[in-house]
Structures are given as C-alpha cells and as structure tokens.
Structure 1
Amino acid sequence: MSRAAVLGAGSWGTAFAKLLADAGSDVTIWARRAQVAAIIRSTGTNPDYLPGIRLPEQVTATDDAAKAISGADLVVLAVPSQTLRGNLAEWAGFLEPDATLVSLMKGIELGTTRRMSEVIMETGAVPADRVAVVSGPNLAPEIAAEQPAATVVACVDLARATLVQRAITTPYFRPYTNDDVIGAELGGAVKNVIALAYGMATAMGLGHNTRAMLITRGLAETARLGVALGADPLTFAGLAGMGDLVASCSSPSARNRTFGEHLGRGETLEQAQAATRQTAEGVKSCLSIRDLARAHGVEMPITEQVELVCHEGVSPRVAMAALMARSPKPE
C-alpha cells in the first residue's frame, strides 16, 4: 500500500484524496487552516468544500506540511496556481528522494509565464520525469459522488504516468496516460479563460450558437498556442482538451463559468469574487496566457477580450462585439 500526501484541502484536493484512498492508498491531506484539518479528522468530511461526502477511513488531515509529506510516495499539489512557488519553496525539503509529484493545478504563473510542472521542477529541484499532471473533465463534486469520469495523467516518463494511473483507478474513475505534458497543462489552463467567456455569454442571455462558437474557437486558440509551444495537436481533441473545456463551460457548478456569469450580469471583479468565494483560476491566468501568446506570436482573441473585461473594465457586451468585428479569415 502506498502513502500519499494531498497538499490542499479544497474541493478537488479533497475529492482526489478520496480517489487515492478508494484505490488503496493511505492519504494525508494538508490544510492551510487548522480548523479544516481538525474537522476532516474528527468527522471524516470536508463540509466547506464537499458537503455530504464521507471520506474513507484511510484519509486523515493535518495543518503540518512536513508531517503530511514525510514518507509519501505520491505528493499531490492542489493549491491555487499562483501560490505554488511560494508554498513549494517551503515544502521541498520534506520530499522523499524519489517521490512522484502530481499537479492538479490549472494555471500559468504570472510574471514568468511558466506552466505548473515547470514551477514544480524549478522550485522543488526535481527532474521532469518525476512530475505528472492530471487534467481532464474533473468536476470535483461529481467525482466525489462516484459518478463515472475519466482523466489524463501526463508525464514525460510513461512508467511514472502508469504508476499514478494505477494509484487513482477506481470503478468510477478511469485515467488514461499520455506523454504530452505541455498539451495537458495548456488545455487545463486555457479552458478556465474560455469558461469565463462562456459564463458571460450565458448571463447575457446569448444562445447555443454563441456558446458553441466560444467552445470551438476557444479550443482553436488553445491548440494554436499549444502547437507553438511543442504540444501534440491531438491532445486538444481528447479529455485534457475538448473534454475539460466542455465540462467547465457546460456545468453550472464550474467555478470559472459561474464567475463569468457574475461578470456577464454587470458585476465588478470584486463583487464576483465576493459572491463566488472560490478561486477562479482563469481570472489571473488570462493575463499570463495572453503574455505567453504574445511572446510566441499567437493570436488568442477570446483570451484577450476576457482579460479586458476582468482587468480593464470593458463591458462583456463590448468585448463580444469586438470579437464579432474581427476581419474575416479562413477557419
């Protein structure tokens, strides 16, 4: 039986801890707040993030990162992407020499435009073959409720990807392996931005044609950036691309779509943040994704308009009009 640490007690971190335990691992969740860790230990639930879900007996929790990480074969990183570098700098000294680091984060670092696996390698001083990325249509409440779902485990070392695959395979969760880390990470990061746009369109009362356009053109700009960075274009047709994008756009419970709906109703960024009370990764990542695209000469018009709405006060209706006013071109 392996031992796993899940660093982050949000909804996806908690659901992933349940997955690991259901697949046979002993799991320790690290929670930033001692109160959350205490509730998980005493009740076997995390009511703040996954109300009504009972965690397996093999799951415990602590607010002591060293205690969580010590002896863990798998170290799962499930913190907000913009906090990863600072957190991992504190945790790196606790890592076992051959531990596999698993990233659940879907973002691009502000300032550096680094993908999360790159931040892990730099800050944790670990080689690429020890870092795996999990990405796909993985809405945490549905997985915690054991509804059938699938994901991609991407790692440059397919043997390491297979190790993670085995550690999270359950009757209700089916992971596939892939060696395209770049594609998996970009699909997960950019879909958050497109989901913001989808949420805005939904709140504005725009119909299925508009929303289908945002999904398909959003996927096109994701793939353009991915190819420029060396990703396999086929990755974007799979679970880590189209699958994740459709789930994040179509589900009313997806946090980026929900955040976008608040913006589409005319609320400010601050009002939307107060209303949702959870991290919508696309709000910050749209800035770093825009910078990454510009650095590689890639056009990403939806991403640019989302950035204008989120950070420069442009009305969602003005942003939509700007998208439609772009010069005609071949698909």
Structure 2
Amino acid sequence: MTEKIAVLGAGSWGSMLANILATNGHDVRLWSYKTAQVDELNTDHTNSKYLKDFTFSDSLVAYSDMRAALADVDDVLFVVPAQVTRSVAKKVNPLLAQLGIKPNLIHASKGIEEKTYQRMSEVLADEIDPANRHSISVISGPSQAEDVARGDITLVTAASENIQDAEHIQSLFMNPTFRVYTNDDVIGVEIGAALKNIIALGAGALVGLGYGDNAKASLITRGLAEISRLGTSFGANPLTFIGLSGVGDLIVTATSSDSRNWRAGNQLGHGKSLQAVVDNMGMVIEGVATTRAAYELAKQRGVEMPITSAIYHVLYDNADIKESIAQLMQREGRSELA
C-alpha cells in the first residue's frame, strides 16, 4: 500500500532513505531548510554536497516548507543530527496539531543528546504530544549511504516497543537490495547506533597513527564490550549488540573510509586538532558529542568504559593519543568476560 511519508533531513542518509521509499512507490516529501539544496533536488535530482554522481528518483519531491511537507502524511521520518532532533521536533509538534494528523514517527539519527543523555526516541516522546503521534520507531544498522547508492546489499533493523509498528516500518523499506529485520529492543538498537560512532573515532585514529589490523580488531571487540555494558545497564537485550544495529553497524562504521566518524578519527591520528577536523569535515561528526554524553553517562551509572574515557580525554582535554593508548595497554589484567 502506498503511503505519504515526510522525511526530515536531506543529508546523505536522509536523502538516501527518502529515495528508497520513493523507489518503493511511496509518496515521499523530503524536507530541508536549505532552499538551494531543495532546488537542486527538484531540478537536477541530485544532492551533490552529500552524494556525488547519484541521481535520485524523479518521483521524490523536496520541500523547504515544513508544513507543506507534513500535510496529510502517514509517517514522519527524522534523519537530522542527534543534537538538533529536539529543535526540529519542537517545530513539528504544533504543525501536526494544526494539520490534525497523527502519523507514525520514525527516526534514523544515531546519537545521544548532550546534557539530557536521552536517546532519540525519548527526545521525540518529550517534544511531540501523544495526541499528535501514533507510534515511535527507529531504523538502524550497517548502512553507509554511499554503498546503498551503489546498489550494495544492505540489511538493517526496525525497532519499536510494539512489534507491529516495527513490522510496518519493515514493509515500507523492504526491497530486493534493502532488507529490514524487526526488533522490540529500542534501547539496545539506539545505544548501539549511537556509541559505535565513538569506537569509529578511535579506529580511524589507530589507522592514522599507523597501527594495523590486530589493533583495529582489538579496539572494535573491546569497544563492543563497552557498548554492551552501558546498554544492558539500561535494560537492553544483550543479543541486540551482536545483531545488525550492534556489531554490524560497528564494523562498517569503524572500518569504512566513507564513515565521517572514521575519517575524523583518522585526521586526529595524523595530528590535527579537533577544531581543525570539524572545520575540514563540513558535516556533523555525531561521535564527538556522543563521546561526551556517553562518558558522563557511564560515570553517572558506574559503568566502566575505558576506551570511551580515553577518547573523551583526547577530544576534550587535549590528551596525547599515543599516551592514551599506552595507558589502555598498561591497565591491570582482567578476565575478558568480566
């Protein structure tokens, strides 16, 4: 069945998800606050800043007017940076009330909000009144937009506390190259999606410093242990972290040069300052803000996260990367399963 879907956020992943939905036959409205980007998408069917040499479906329509994009929609997909999700949701809430609609809310943003430490589903629940929404779900997994653009096989997870809502999201996105599984562990899916960006920063830094595959594999494995420890402290299912939104997303983000978090870490490893990296990237590096949130959250909950802590001190206290690695290696011996 064809549905009307508003996609909020026209970065690489937002525009690619919108294109998947459009090619699946849905009526898709892609919103961006950048009028030049909207004009390019509607006229040339390209989004050159984010996805060079890719042509979008001509059925995909872009909007700079949020109210027009939301009119009569069945679903609203948020794909904006985690730290601005709240401000966008604040704008959406009164518009939904004015339009008299109660859509399904979905998000594909990967981060934890600073200061509140809230996951994105919690932010949406805070800012969008129950009277203006039917459900809240998340879609996540190992999904570089550049690979999807090339037609690569991609598998992701749709999660909602109500499995029927997750199955609805599954039905919207499924096609021969984009496969969607369902999960009811929203906590685990969101924490895995957010914290893998921290480990990707570290993995990129290792490569920048000249370390090899052994070091990268070790970082990814122990990083996953940290992610699982924090997630399960909130009640997440441990099995989620060995699934697509856990280890799957961690592998691709911590090994791919298409990952902006990996690229940012790689530049740090080559000796650039954080500010220089941010200025050079030109796009949001989700892992930077999430590192602070996870570091503070771990301290608050008494969860041991030595890798996250080391990356935090590199980012925010100008700690030397090589010295931080040495300190991690010199920690007291312990059981792998502890």
Mapped contact 2:112–2:293 kept (Cα < 8 A): yes
User: Higher mean Cα deviation, 251-260 or 290-299?
Assistant: 290-299
Tell me which amino acid in the other structure corresponds to 1:100. N
Cα distance in 2, alignment partners of residues 125 and 319 from structure 1: 45
Distance apart, 1:175 and its partner CA: 0.5
Cα distance in 2, alignment partners of residues 204 and 153 from structure 1: 36
Mapped contact 2:24–2:175 kept (Cα < 8 A): yes
1:25 equivalenced with 2:26 (yes/no): yes
1:287 equivalenced with 2:288 (yes/no): no
Mapped contact 1:120–1:126 kept (Cα < 8 A): no
Spell out structure 1 runs of 4+ moving beyond 4 A: none
Match of 2:212 among 200, 207, 214: 207
Distance apart, 1:147 and its partner CA: 0.9
Mapped contact 2:264–2:281 kept (Cα < 8 A): yes
Mapped contact 2:141–2:249 kept (Cα < 8 A): yes
* 1:10 alignment partner in structure 2: 11
- Could you report, residue by residue, the CA deviation over 1:252-301 in whole angstroms, capped at 9, with x for unpaired residues? 11110000001111100111112221111000110111111122111111
Q: How does 1:87-98 map to 2 (within 5 A)?
A: 87-95=88-96, 97-98=101-102
Distance apart, 1:57 and its partner CA: 2.2
Tell me which amino acid in the other structure corresponds to 2:110. K
* 1:182 alignment partner in structure 2: 187
- Could you report, residue by residue, the CA deviation over 1:172-226 in whole angstroms, capped at 9, with x for unpaired residues? 1000000000000000000000000000001000011111110000000000011
* 1:118 alignment partner in structure 2: 122
Cα distance in 2, alignment partners of residues 248 and 77 from structure 1: 20
- TM-score between both structures, scaled by the size of structure 2: 0.96
* 1:57 alignment partner in structure 2: 58
| Aligned residue pair count | 331
Tell me which amino acid in the other structure corresponds to 1:117. S
Tell me which amino acid in the other structure corresponds to 2:148. I
Cα distance in 2, alignment partners of residues 69 and 325 from structure 1: 54
Distance apart, 1:316 and its partner CA: 1.2
Mapped contact 2:102–2:134 kept (Cα < 8 A): no
Structure 2 stretches lacking a partner, 5+ long: none
- Could you report, residue by residue, the CA deviation over 1:117-161 in whole angstroms, capped at 9, with x for unpaired residues? 000000112399711111100101111222110000000011111
Cα distance in 1, alignment partners of residues 206 and 268 from structure 2: 10
SS in 2 for 1:177: strand
Structure 1 stretches lacking a partner, 5+ long: none
* 1:244 alignment partner in structure 2: 249
1:303 equivalenced with 2:304 (yes/no): no
SS in 2 for 1:101: strand
Cα distance in 2, alignment partners of residues 317 and 2 from structure 1: 52
* 1:224 alignment partner in structure 2: 229
Cα distance in 1, alignment partners of residues 280 and 102 from structure 2: 42
Cα distance in 2, alignment partners of residues 50 and 69 from structure 1: 25
Mapped contact 1:24–1:167 kept (Cα < 8 A): no
* 1:108 alignment partner in structure 2: 112
* 1:167 alignment partner in structure 2: 172
Cα distance in 1, alignment partners of residues 92 and 28 from structure 2: 17
Match of 1:273 among 260, 273, 278: 278
- TM-score between both structures, scaled by the size of structure 1: 0.98
User: Higher mean Cα deviation, 184-193 or 285-294?
Assistant: 285-294
Tell me which amino acid in the other structure corresponds to 1:278. M
* 1:191 alignment partner in structure 2: 196
Cα distance in 2, alignment partners of residues 307 and 64 from structure 1: 38
